[in-house]
Amino acid sequence: MLLVGGVGYELRLPARTAERLGPLGGPVELFVHTAVKEDAIDLYGFATLGERALFRLLLEVPKVGPSMALLLLSALAPAELAQAVQRGDVARLTQVKGIGKKTAEALLFHLKDRGLEIGAVAQAPISAASGPSPAPATDELVAALLALGYRPAQAEGAARRAREALPEGDLSLLVREALKALRVT
């Protein structure tokens, strides 16, 4: 249960995110994916924008739902998942409890064209979910642009231009500046 302004929210988290949470009752920063269904609104929390972007990529694979995506992100670090996809490593994916050979092959088939994107997202720094991120906002900026669907080269170029225009800007200002740069090009 996460309390925000006195309102409690139930979030599902990958085990890796849950392990990085600080002490009970302390401040937490999570990036949330909201899934709206006919009968429910489900919230999924992630320590980084990169993890959330990977979760969303996994949801695009047929027959991969939120539970399986959380399972993968709990068992494999983003870099491990990216490496398995880029190498076509069925054996590595089947080591995850609940992922069989057919599912692993389906994951690899549907994600093979997105290998570079997954790799770029996985390279995004892991911020501590319990406090301020030690990573520069520009790295989170690249992850945010990737999550919005831009290609890695586009995201990195726009982040570089935004950083040049606003060297001291916070993440929200940098995102706006990067989106302006993307519209110009």
pLDDT at 102: 92
Contact in structure between 128 and 134 (CB atoms under 8 Å): yes
Calculate the CA dihedral of residues 19, 25, 29, 35 and round it to 10 degrees: 80
Q: Does 112 lie in the same domain as 23?
A: yes
Enumerate residues 6+ apart whose C-beta is below 8 A from 170.
137
Closest CA to 116 of 85, 90, 141: 85
CATH, residue 168: 1.10.8
128 lies in a domain? no
pLDDT at 133: 40
For residue 83, is pLDDT > 60? yes
Quick count: other Cβ atoms within 10 Å of Cβ 43?
15
Residue 35, SS3 per DSSP: strand
CATH, residue 61: 1.10.150.20
97 lies in a domain? yes
Picking from 73, 95, 123, the residue at the C-terminal end of a domain is 123
Q: What angle do CA 46, 50, 51 make, to 5 degrees?
A: 40
pLDDT at 118: 66
Domain that holds residue 167: 137-184
CA 70 to chain centroid, in Å, comes to 11
pLDDT at 37: 85
148 lies in a domain? yes
For residue 70, is pLDDT > 90? yes
51 vs 25, residue with greater confidence: 51
d(CA 55, CA 44) in angstroms, rounded, equals 9
User: What domain count does the chain have?
Assistant: 2
Q: Does 73 lie in the same domain as 114?
A: yes
Q: What percent of the chain has pLDDT over 70?
A: 85
For residue 135, is pLDDT > 60? no
Q: Does 143 lie in the same domain as 118?
A: no
Q: What would the pLDDT profile of 6-48 be if each residue is shown by its tens digit?
A: 788 889 999 988 888 877 777 888 888 998 888 888 999 988 8
pLDDT at 131: 40
Please name the amino acid found at residue 171. Answer: L
